[in-house]
Structure 1
Amino acid sequence: MEQQQPYQPKNKVRIVTAASLFDGHDAAINIMRRIIQATGVEVIHLGHDRSVEEVVNTAIQEDANAIAMTSYQGGHNEYFKYMYDLLKEKGAGHIKIFGGGGGVILPSEISELHEYGIERIYSPDDGRELGLQGMINDLVQRADFPVGDTLNGEVNHLEDKNPTAIARLISSAENFPEVAKPVLEKIAKINQDSKTPVLGITGTGGAGKSSLVDELVRRFLIDFPDKTIGLISVDPSKRKTGGALLGDRIRMNAINNPRVYMRSLATRQSNLALSKYVQEAIEILKAAKYDLIVLETSGIGQSDTEILEHSDVSLYVMTPEFGAATQLEKIDMLDFADLVALNKFDKRGALDAIRDVKKQYQRNHHLWDVDPDKMPVFGTIASQFNDPGMNTLYKSIMDKIVEKTGIDLHSNFQITREMSEKIFVIPPHRTRYLSEISENNRKYDETALSQVDVAQKLYGIFKTMETVSGRVPKIDKSGVIEDSLNHSPEKKEFLSLLMKEFDRVKMNLDPYNWEIILTWDEKVNKYKNPVYSFMVRDKEIKIQTHTESLSHSQIPKVALPKYQAWGDILKWNLQENVPGEFPFASGLYPFKREGEDPTRMFAGEGGPERTNRRFHYVSLGMPAKRLSTAFDSVTLYGNDPDHRPDIYGKIGNAGVSICCLDDAKKLYSGFDLSHPATSVSMTINGPAPMLLGFFMNAAIDQNCEKYIKENGLEAEVEAKINAIYKAKGVERPRYNGELPKGNDGLGLMLLGVTGDQVLPADVYNDIKVKTLAQVRGTVQADILKEDQAQNTCIFSTEFALRLMGDVQEYFIQNNVRNFYSVSISGYHIAEAGANPITQLAFTLANGFTYVEYYLSRGMNINDFGPNLSFFFSNGIDPEYAVIGRVARKIWAKAMKLKYGANERAQMLKYHIQTSGRSLHAQEIDFNDIRTTLQALYAIYDNCNSLHTNAYDEAITTPTEESVRRAMAIQLIINKELGLAKNENPIQGSFIIEELTDLVEEAVLAEFDRITERGGVLGAMETMYQRSKIQEESLYYETLKHTGEFPIIGVNTFLSSKGSPTVIPAEVIRATEEEKQFQIATLESLHKANADKVKEQLEIIQDAAIQNQNIFEKLMDATKYCSLGQITSALFEVGGQYRRNM
């Protein structure tokens, strides 16, 4: 394939790139922005989850030629149209809009958006036809027009701080200096008496300057509620292409504020940290009467002091990793900087580093009579929310500005004189935990092998005794029973020698292992008997051990090997064993639960009523109700439904819209949430604690409803509810539409109220205690995986982990034994592109990180271990055949031998979903074949629950017909496939054993690599996991593209028509009525609970500040507050997630 040459722009082109609101799919836009930059463009990259307003404000402030967006989460019609309208409304209609969203954006919608005025939406067919570079060439060529070649009175709008005018003047100064010259002369006269201070911030590349600037801006806006701030941020241009990555905005959360203007400049020259037009930009901002201007340079070397020529006060930012103390003598900025920030103060050696920098500063400034600790050198952790070091630095900067310029910017910011201290999720002395697990597990395997060797020698001696004696010797706990041997005189001496050797060798065998050999025949017979009985939570369970085929063959449910040699028996027991026994290679329980196949019923679309109908449809007639819930992207990001178009378009699309307790009650109505055959799985991460609060309260209120009916209190309660709503002057909430078949209305009686409002406190509390002990299900809530792969983090990582810990603590205190507080998820890691080994290694590593974190909080491993569950993807790679058994073995060995956990905590319980990545939009009927094979892997490997994807999910939301087919795949395997009647069919296979050993060692090796990077959290800081996932994704896509990796119906065995991409006949989207009803529900809630919300939000904020359990308070707050209200309140005390490049 001939490589396409990049288009060469005739003008300086600037393009803003981002992924749309509530959309974490940033892989595509990252690839696009790289190619756009390599085509000679200055790229202002914003990352994922960006609102229209943020993108439009950025494009205007940056005076961009174009905006390039990806949108994979639906709502694209409203999003792009709103962007177009907002640009026109703000006088920036010249900025062109480009977009793409794979197969999510239909051809008819592309045509509609083009007609509306969107410059170009690229389809998958465009990508195939033009190639990536061809697509970008088209985009850049369309956006290649001059900016700033004419001026039209913009200078007259400066004092209004008009961002369009400010931006155009800076562009003109940069691109057409001759055009700008007379205007700049006019600006110079305006600025003759200007006292606006300029803070210059410079430092080495990677010192965290952008995060630090963002934290300074956040504090400035709080400190001075009526002041404004202008930012100029410089990044280097690429000498080869002229392109530049202007990436400072991606790290910033505080700048989308009307009191902030930011402009990113490329140096447009090599070897310099500033643009030659930076002074012009400063003068323009001074003329616009900003109260403070901050100038941030690109990364500099040791001898660079350019910033001093443009600033009144200078701050030098560095990290503790500067090498030997003598290196400090070479840094010119330490001679001139007014203040120094030693950022990333959580790094090893930070205390020594700050001592050395303070001494060097003292020397350079000849401050011999001043205590080194009084030097203006500050340890900061800008990435940490409300960092004390940042507070001190900010106050010192403002004081220095006042001191040097006399300007009236006296700070009232409250600070404490604490030093920056990292809030360690994992204590520093525990960072080797993964390698300790590797060492521990390898030691177990080595010990097992040596014990097997001893057992095999004993068996050799035993067989020799049998041969010499002429009879089979008997054995007991002490060894061979001497009386069972033939004591004829000619054999006595030899047998005596053999007995001594047997006893000598046996000294090296662990008594536990001798017991295994001793009881082997008994174990085999237990499975041969017609009925097997075992205990589960003090209850005896009896199971038939065989099934009968049509040919009247007796098929054993568990087949055991016919080994006789003790070494073989011992090895099999130590490394494989029967289901239900350590190390759980073949399963967690002696037999599968009868009458409950591991089928999960997955749904999520529109409002809660529509998803409730789908749940009742898919579970009708099924003995167990295993409901799995997908939420829309508005909910996934912790927001409320809204009329604003970029939110409105996403309500109820690609998941169900849930924003309050009443929504949860309607969603699960008609299902008894406390019944042992009901379990609910919720695919939610960032706002998981809030959704969990909604769910728990819905379950409690269901039981309150049962109590009301059992005690004939319906009329009394109805009267109370009517009185409550009459007093509020609001209509009572209702279920929208008719109840579906199978829904008896359970859960709807108390819509709009909670049980504690209509029942006595003692009755309510008793019901609450019992309900919490009964509910079964899972909430995903896996924050580590979100940061590594899926991007639905909303809070700062430390705060999100604290919330997870609070939930688990609450579960322990309230005896929540049957609900998983987290589903540690590899599925999304695999969907992002990881191969099966990486998926398994990263997921288990994340799991052990939660273990270490919960232990550091003082929780007992046997209390929280059983509340942890896992979630894996199953593709069709060979390693997927053993993913479950390897996970179980690694987890069990580590939990038992490293952490001393009990048997229940050793059991790794996991859900499997067939691979979404293997669903292709070409020849979609073939997808069911792949899904069937993946489901077979999962069932043979004894997964605890399973979701099979519908064949049409590659192109649309599944239909009832496709969902039925997907469920039939599982049912046919479980009910019809003869071999599946056996519950350990892959045990004993040579290739399975080989794969198990290979994958297990590969995972342990990955643990060691992660340890080298400081454990999971340390590796995340350098984006190790994310980079590895992307590399593996690219490898797969390359082999798929070249055909080296054959995919039937995609790159080989194509149909006569060439297997084109299938366009769906219809796409299931939320209706206008559903969206409007959700917004009306929310507005009614806000009106009904207006008197309660402020108090409840203050209670959860206080709990966060006082280090109390936040989830305990959320259980009350979720009764009255909406999801968005709680999220916003927690942002103020826990910090927002900071995106990475």
Structure 2
Amino acid sequence: MYDPEELDAIRDAKESWESGTYGETVDRFGERKESFTTDTGGQEVDPLYTPADIPDHDYREDLGNPGEEPYTRGVYSTMHRGRLWTMRQYAGMGTAAETNERFNYLIDQGSSGLSMAFDLPTQMGYDSDAAMAEGEVGRSGVAIDTLDDFETVFDGIPLDEVSTSMTINAPAAVLLAMYIAMGDKQGVPREQLRGTIQNDIMKEYIARNLYIYPPEPSMRLITDIFEFCAGEIPSFNTISISGYHIREAGSTAAQEVAFTLGDGIEYVQAAIDAGLDVDEFAPQLSFFFNAHNNIFEEAAKFRAARRMWATIMEERFDAQNPKSKQLKFHTQTGGSTLTAQQIENNVVRVSYQALAAVLGGTQSLHTNGKDEALALPTEQSVRTALRTQQILAHESGAADTIDPLAGSYYVENLTDGIEEDAFEILEEVDRRGGMLEAVKSQWVQRQIQDVAFERQREIEDGERVIVGVNKFEVDEEPEMDLEEVDPEQEQNQRERLEAVKADRDSDAVDDALASLREAAQGSENVIPHIIDAVKSYGTVQEVSDVLREEYGEYKPGR
């Protein structure tokens, strides 16, 4: 903290500079814009920041050291000096065999973690032969119907050596069960399985709408996963509480932080209400954030989120285990920032976004392919995206020191500002009965929609420059190869599913599903029963349908 007299002297010096050196230059030559604001928050950006902009800043209270509370500077003592972030590339091609090929390619190219994308039917708990699945099988990711598909996806990939993230939510318990079953088949001790299941149903109600069950039974499934994994797979992250899709829907940086941590609060409270001890499951919680173009705002966002979570876990939930207070997060570069026009520009956007994530202290990172505004990324685009991370790690120097932006008057002011704004939003959420009630009433969705509408207006009016879209356009776009899904794959996947059903022990499947139904009707943890069902080659839809029948399906507004 600065001495009050010294701060007064700094303020006087700045005022003198503003009216003299700076002001005279502006009067003579002007500035390139009438006003400067942060990318999404609309916070006015001053021409110069000094200690007077963070007058109450206390190093030990507000920053501390890496690996120590309040974790502003990072959750680990060595951060990227000790170990680089996990370089995950999101992948999931139409068939299990193609996904296995892409996974092996990424490992060969130096990827240190796998990130699995699923097609729409799988995400909604339907098999490839369902009427609802027609035309969507393998389109937005890999089609997974049974454990047989998982066996193909991970053929030759040792699960005790590779960390896997799975982007799946409503049927998360089913896909997690398949991953555990796959590890059992490989002979990998369950405590050695590493990775993350997204398992974040709240953000589906907020932003993506890929839900199946109503909120209450959905929360029951999540807390069952927390309880089971704490005892069986302690190195696996049981949830990835996602601000990514909230930001993709149009939120500000502060809203992304507030609504994400608000979802986290809801999950922690639900688990405590279910009888779990906070320090038993909280260390396995993880988060998932977006990285957009404003490097300083994004880095400040990550730093603020870490500090806020430590405060929340200590003050709201009386967490004692330091790991319960550590916000560990994965970052993905902003898909909504990618443009179909001049797609080569996306390589540059992704590079800056990745830099912001690293400067902000991410634990793992996915960099988007330049062509993802148009299709699934090609092998060449995936390689370029991975090389972006590798150059950042090994050539840029950004990972050589911990929290290199700390102490910047501008960054600390941004960090404080995002934290203040996010806590104000959380206070309003509390007044509305918590995140679940705020989502049910559509209040959260309206807040995001209002921002998204205003941002689109700014783009259309030219107030917000998008290079290649509303400024610096070109008349012609170069041709490029795009990844395409073979239309015959859908029929092939259905035939594959039919063959598995014909070959399995149907009585074993029926028995496992009956046991699952009984557990779902009572209070017994359902995860062991789901594992038994998928080990007998019960399908994603068969398991999901049992839960649909017991829990019902969510209809917004009803």
The TM-score bracket by the shorter chain reads 0.7 to 0.9
Residue of structure 2 equivalent to 1:525: none
> Which of residues 527, 530, 546 is equivalent to 1:1111?
527
Measure how far apart 1:1139 and its partner are: 3.4
Deviation at 1:592, TM superposition (A): 2.9
Residue 701 (str. 1) matches residue 185 (str. 2): yes
Task: Tell me the CA shift for residue 1130 of structure 1.
Answer: 1.1
Contact 1:601 1:619 in 2 (8 A): no
Matched, 1:655 2:130: no
For residue 87 of structure 2, the aligned residue among 599, 611, 615 is 599
Partner residue, 2:498: 1083
Give the corresponding residue for 2:68. 581
Aligned partner (choices 183, 190, 206) of residue 772 of structure 1: 190
Task: State the 1:997 CA deviation.
Answer: 0.6
**Deviation at residue 1002 of structure 1 after TM alignment:** 0.2
The higher relative CO (CA closer than 8 Å, separation ≥ 6) is in 2
- SS of aligned partner of 2:336: coil
Q: CA deviation at 1:786?
A: 0.5
Match of 2:222 in 1: 804
Unaligned runs of 5+ in 2: 5-54
Question: In the alignment, which of 110, 113, 123 is matched to residue 636 of structure 1?
Answer: 123
How far residue 1071 of structure 1 moved from its aligned partner, in angstroms, is: 4.5
Code of the residue aligned with 1:1011 in structure 2: it is D
Q: CA deviation at 1:892?
A: 0.9
The 5 A counterparts of 1:179-578 are 571-578=58-65
Which residue of the partner structure matches residue 1023 of structure 1? 442
- Give, in angstroms, the shift of residue 572 of structure 1: 0.8
Matched to 1:1023, the amino acid is: Q
Do the aligned partners of 1:837 and 1:879 also contact (CA within 8 Å) in 2? no
AA at the equivalent of 2:415: T
Tell whether 2:210 aligns with 1:792: yes
2:484 aligned partner: 1068
Contact 1:653 1:1070 in 2 (8 A): no
In 1, Cα distance between equivalents of 2:230 and 2:63: 32
1:625 counterpart residue number: 112
Q: Does 1:1102 align with 2:518?
A: yes
Distance change >3 Å, CA 569–CA 1005, structure 1 → 2: closer
1:867 lines up with 2:301 in the alignment: no
How far did residue 700 of structure 1 move? 0.9
Q: Does 1:1010 align with 2:429?
A: yes
Structure 1 match to 2:327: 908
| Structure 2 counterpart of 1:899, one-letter code | F
Flag the 1:570–1:825 CA change in 2: closer, same or farther, 3 A: closer
Matched residue SS, 2:519? helix
CA-CA distance at 1:1063 after TM superposition: 7.2
Partner in structure 1 of residue 166 of structure 2:
682
CA shift, 1:1080, in A, is 2.2
Gap regions ≥5 residues in structure 1:
1-451, 458-567, 704-766
Q: Residues 876-895 of structure 1: matches in 2 within 5 Å?
A: 876-877=293-294, 878-895=296-313
- The question of whether the paired residues in 1 share the 8 Å contact of 2:85 and 2:362 is answered with no
Q: Is the 8 A contact 1:660 1:1122 kept in 2?
A: yes
Q: Distance in 1 between matches of 2:170 and 2:86?
A: 27
Which one-letter code corresponds to 2:457 in the other structure? Answer: T
Match of 1:599, SS state, is strand
Say if 2:100 and 2:155, in contact at 8 Å, map to a contact too. Answer: yes
SS of 1:954 mapped into structure 2: coil
Q: For 1:978 and 1:642, locate their aligned partners in 2 and report how far apart those are by CA, in whole Å.
A: 50
Find the aligned partners of 1:938 and 1:777 in 2 and give their Cα distance: 20
Aligned residue among 833, 836, 846 for 2:250: 833
Residue identity in the other structure for 1:1068 = E
Deviation at 1:1066, TM superposition (A): 3.7
Does the 8 Å contact 2:191/2:234 carry over to 1? yes
CA distance in 2, matches of 1:932, 1:610: 27
- Number of residues paired by the alignment? 504
Aligned to 2:394, which of 955, 965, 975?
975
Aligned amino acid, residue 65 of structure 2: V
Q: Residues 1066, 997 of structure 1: CA spacing in aligned structure 2 closer, same or farther, 3 A cutoff?
A: closer
Q: Deviations over 1:809-829 (max 9, x none)?
A: 111233x21101110001111
Which residue of structure 2 lines up, in the alignment, with residue 667 of structure 1? 153
Give, in whole Å, the separation in 2 of the partners of 1:569 and 1:787: 39
1:1036 aligns to 2:441 (yes or no) = no
Q: 1:928 to 1:1140 in 2, by over 3 A?
A: farther
CA contact (8 A) 2:123 2:169 kept: yes
Q: TM-score of the superposition, structure 1-length normalised?
A: 0.43
Q: Would you say the 8 A contact 1:928–1:951 is kept in 2?
A: yes
2:27 counterpart residue number: none
CA contact 1:630–1:683 (8 Å) conserved in 2: yes
Does the 8 Å CA contact 1:955/1:1064 hold for their aligned counterparts?
no
Shift of 1:601: 2.3
Aligned partner letter, 2:268: V
Q: Distance in 2 between matches of 1:987 and 1:617?
A: 37
The equivalent of 2:546 in structure 1 is 1129
Give the Å deviation of 1:855. 0.9
Separation of aligned partners in 2, 1:569 and 1:673: 48
Question: 1:639 is matched by which residue type in structure 2?
Answer: Y
Q: Is the 8 A contact 2:86 2:112 kept in 1?
A: no
Could you tell me how far 1:1113 is from its partner in structure 2?
Answer: 1.1
Q: Match of 1:735? A: none
Of 739, 762, 781, the residue aligned with 2:199 is: 781
Q: Secondary structure at the match of 1:1136?
A: coil
Work out whether residues 643 and 1079 of structure 1, in 8 Å CA contact, stay in contact via their aligned partners in 2.
no
- SS of equivalent to 1:1127: helix
Aligned to 1:1054: 473
Local SS of the residue matching 2:290: strand
Aligned partners of 1:803, 1:855: CA distance in 2, in Å? 14
Return the alpha-carbon distance in structure 1 between the equivalents of residues 549 and 458 of structure 2.
47
Pairing 1:80-91 to 2, within 5 Å after superposition: none
- Supply the distance in 1 between the matched residues of 2:230 and 2:554 (Cα, whole angstroms): 28
Amino acid at match of 2:505: N
Residue identity in the other structure for 2:227? E
Deviation at 1:596, TM superposition (A): 4.4
CA RMSD of aligned residues (A): 2.1
Whether the 8 Å contact between 2:124 and 2:212 is mirrored in structure 1 is yes
Q: Partners of 1:903 and 1:642 in 2: how far apart?
A: 47
Check the 8 A contact 1:686/1:792 in 2, yes or no. Answer: yes
- Using the alignment, how far apart are the partners of 1:841 and 1:979 within structure 2? 27
Contact 2:329 2:364 in 1 (8 A): yes
Contact 1:841 1:1003 in 2 (8 A): yes
Q: What code does the residue aligned with 2:217 have?
A: F
Which of the two has higher C-alpha Rg? 1
Contact 1:817–1:866 (CA under 8 A) maintained in structure 2: no
Deviations 1:64-96 (A, max 9, x none): xxxxxxxxxxxxxxxxxxxxxxxxxxxxxxxxx
